[in-house]
Amino acid sequence: MKTLIVYYSHGGNTGAAARRIAEQTGAPCAALTPAAPYPGEYKPLAAQAWQEIQNGFLPPLADIPDLTGVTRLLLGTPNWCGTMAPPVAAFLAGVSTDGLRILPFCTHGGGGPGKIAADLQKLCPGADIGPLLSIKGTELAVEDLRAWLAAL
Ligand SMILES: Cc1cc2nc3c(=O)[nH]c(=O)nc-3n(C[C@H](O)[C@H](O)[C@H](O)COP(=O)(O)O)c2cc1C
């Protein structure tokens, strides 16, 4: 059983969750990096994110983590406009997830996970998708993390 953590984080919250998960599991982490960086300021970032999500645009990535031999994927994304951030959708479009066990996690700003779980299911119809761990900002309780990892 080989486990890999793959995540995208723009502001650091999802990255912080990924590091917590890595500490608990000992699994390696791979951060997704868009080839063209997103704007740092919120307004242009939000406008670009909204456009990309509306158009189903998949931003090219600097590189795609190698899933060779990986059987379990812990997949992290921020909630952007109610769904996963486009770099995560771009990653999923670039790999085969058939037969993979996927445990998703997301961070959000108070709106909850939106339709991340439903959209993930659509993008990975051949994967065995477990429960979604939804984290407000960086508020991740140890018990919630343990309970989620028990589904691994
Ligand atoms: C473009 C954009 C769109 C967002 N949309 C939502 C949203 O729809 N609902 C929500 O609760 N939070 C939303 N947020 C807040 C982020 O989900 C939250 O700050 C998250 O923890 C950021 O993760 P990161 O620090 O790993 O990038 C949005 C943030 C950005 C930048």
- Residue 17: exposure state from Cβ atoms within 10 A (0-12, 13-18, ≥19): buried
User: What is the spatial distance between Cα 66 and Cα 61, in angstroms, rounded to a whole number?
Assistant: 13
Cβ(13) to ligand 1 under 6 A? yes
pLDDT at 85: 99
Residue nearest to atom 22 of ligand 1 (CA): 78
Cβ(78) to ligand 1 under 6 A? yes
Q: Which residues of the chain have pLDDT under 70?
A: none
Tell me, yes or no, if the pTM score tops 0.95: yes
Domain coverage including residue 62: 3-149
13-50 residue pLDDT tens: 999 999 999 999 999 999 999 999 999 999 999 999 99
Phi, psi at 8, each rounded to 5°: -120, 140
Residue nearest to atom 30 of ligand 1 (CA): 80
Number of domains in the chain: 1
Measure 16 CA to ligand 1 centroid, in angstroms: 14
Q: Estimate to the nearest angstrom the gap between the alpha carbon of 5 and the chain centroid.
A: 9
Contact indicator for 8, 87 with CB cutoff of 8 Å: yes
Q: What is the CATH number of the domain that holds 17?
A: 3.40.50.360
pLDDT at 1: 85
Contact indicator for 124, 102 with CB cutoff of 8 Å: yes
